[in-house]
């Protein structure tokens, strides 16, 4: 039985997304998401920012690369994955990333505050249903 591994993040792209291909031709898109948290402490409010590395695969990767850019708001639903490897120094290393299975973008806004509507992009929803056929993820070294 699989254990529960699910995450939901909402934030803004830190920089433009990067699209790469694996040696077998699979598309992978990598981006960072900044998530803000505001909380009350003592007499005022505090602000905390967390940064998360996110990757997505296949057609979802291509769509996120096309629509995601620095500052763009997005909601990501996915799972947590820990990559582990041994470095050239023979020491073990690890990195935790979010593997996106669903990405939803917030509408872009023009400088004057009005919404900029691109073809039905008011609530662009991208799903990773086609990724179900990909049984095993490829190891990707960046």
Tokens coding 27:
């598309």
Does residue 40 surpass a pLDDT of 70?
Answer: yes
Q: Average pLDDT, stretch 72-97?
A: 95
The domain defined by 7-133 folds into OB fold (Dihydrolipoamide Acetyltransferase, E2P) (2.40.50)
Nearest residue to 53 via CA among 19, 100, 4: 100
Q: Catalogue the long-range contacts made by 113-121 (C-beta closer than 8 Å, 24 or more residues apart).
A: 121/67
Please write the tens of the pLDDT for every residue from 17-35. 999 999 999 999 999 999 9
Residue 128: C-alpha distances to residues 57, 78, 114, 115 (Å):
8, 10, 30, 27
Q: What is the C-alpha separation between 30 and 2, in angstroms, rounded? A: 26
| pTM for the predicted model, two decimal places | 0.74
CB atoms within 10 A of CB 141: 7
Residue 93 CA from chain centroid, whole number: 22
Residue of 98, 115, 97 lying closest to 106 (CA atoms)? 115
């Amino acid at each position: 039985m699989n254990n529960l591994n699910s995450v939901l993040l909402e934030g803004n792209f830190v920089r433009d997304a990067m699209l790469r291909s694996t040696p077998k031709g699979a598309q992978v898109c990598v981006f960072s998401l900044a998530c803000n948290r505001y909380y009350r402490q003592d007499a005022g409010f505090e602000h905390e920012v967390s940064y998360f590395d996110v990757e997505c695969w296949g057609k979802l990767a291509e769509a996120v690369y096309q629509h995601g850019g620095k500052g763009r708001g997005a909601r990501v639903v996915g799972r947590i994955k820990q990559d582990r490897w041994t470095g050239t120094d023979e020491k073990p290393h690890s990195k935790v990333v979010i593997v996106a299975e669903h990405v939803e973008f917030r509408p872009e806004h023009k400088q004057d505050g009005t919404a900029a509507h691109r073809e039905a992009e008011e609530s662009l929803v991208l799903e990773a249903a086609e990724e179900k056929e990909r049984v095993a993820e490829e190891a990707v070294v960046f």
